[in-house]
Amino acid sequence: MSAPLDWLSRLLEITPVRGQLDLRCMYGAPWRIDQSESAPGEIPYHAVLGGSAMLEDPVSGKPQQLVAGDIVLLADGDAHTLHDGGGKRAKPARERAVANLVWSENSGTGARLDMLCGRFVLNPAHARLLRGYLPARLIAHSAAQTENTTDTGLHLSNLLGLMRVETGSDSLGGRAMLNALSTALFALTLRFASEAQEAPEGLLALAGYPRLAPALEALFHNPGHPWTLPALAQLCNMSRATFVRLFQEKLGRSASDLLTDVRMTMAANELRTSSASTGAIAERVGYQSEAAFQRAFKLHMGVTPASWRRGLQA
């Protein structure tokens, strides 16, 4: 008997994410980091262990302050800038290998920053689902203490503490441990954000709204079922109109959009890992007509299922 999966576990099962820690930055002000656009399928992250940093926001033009315990995920992978906020010309950074990691340091003597920088790596085909339904910039304040603080915040702080220890030790398997902890950081950050009083937009806001939880679980666990809006609304004990409005309000997209994305992601995985026919895969992900599946897959992935499979085998 298989253990039941929650929606986040199911999401990470069909869109596997591999964490990779790249740098530990130890800077004294003035300092500045200009990070270029990430490669397709990569989501950069920064975790502040000590001190503070200013993250430039190109949309509002107002920098966002990050403090110790803050983790930022940049799902859109866009170029971004962090700095000390003082406005002075940054001291140049230099890199050196320490234990299991590369450390980046400068000669600045001002306020100190201790920050981990890494990335979450996934197949470009999976990036669409994650990037499309996560906030472009997700900031989790794991050290913030409120009356509604959950155990997840403590777990996240402890995880960062373990990563701090591992970056400074030369223990056997340390590099593998750091990357495994980075992978855990992704799931734990999403869990923490979904539990916040005001969950960020997208899937996390949807997950944080209990009335819609039955529909979210259904779409991830049984996407091959011929779901209709009335059927999903009935699962949530609400009218079709109320369901459509709330789902759109929380997710920013329709239930049909999410269902199609989940189905296409599963189909792409099946084409990659099995020798099943296109018709069989179409049926598994909820399409009675192979032709309809072919059209949907090409619209979604940009190539036909056969071309997708051939490309993976090339």
User: 264: which residues sit within 8 A by CB, 6+ positions away?
Assistant: 285, 296, 297, 300, 301
Q: What is the pLDDT of residue 186?
A: 95
Q: Which residue has the tokens 């262990």?
A: 49
Q: What is the pLDDT of residue 142?
A: 87
What is the Cα 229 distance to its own chain's centre?
27
Q: What is the pLDDT of residue 272?
A: 86
Q: Which residue type is seen at 275?
A: S
Q: What is the pLDDT of residue 143?
A: 83
**Separation CA 251–CA 90 (nearest Å):** 40
Rounding to the nearest 10 degrees, give the CA dihedral for residues 34, 38, 39, 44: 120
C-beta separation of 301 from 260 below 8 A: no
Indicate the pTM of the whole model: 0.89
Q: What is the pLDDT of residue 195?
A: 85
Inter-CA distances, 135 with 20, 92, 144, 163, Å: 20, 32, 20, 25
Task: Kindly report, residue by residue over 215-273, the tens digit of the pLDDT.
Answer: 999 999 999 999 999 999 999 999 999 999 999 999 999 999 999 999 999 999 999 88
Q: What is the pLDDT of residue 57?
A: 79
Q: What is the pLDDT of residue 314?
A: 44
Q: Split the chain (314 residues) into runs of 10 and give each run's mean pLDDT.
A: 73 91 96 93 95 87 91 92 95 90 94 97 79 88 68 91 90 91 95 81 86 93 94 96 94 93 92 90 93 93 89 58
Inter-CA distances, 90 with 32, 54, 61, 68, Å: 6, 14, 20, 21
Count other C-beta atoms under 10 Å from residue 144's C-beta: 12
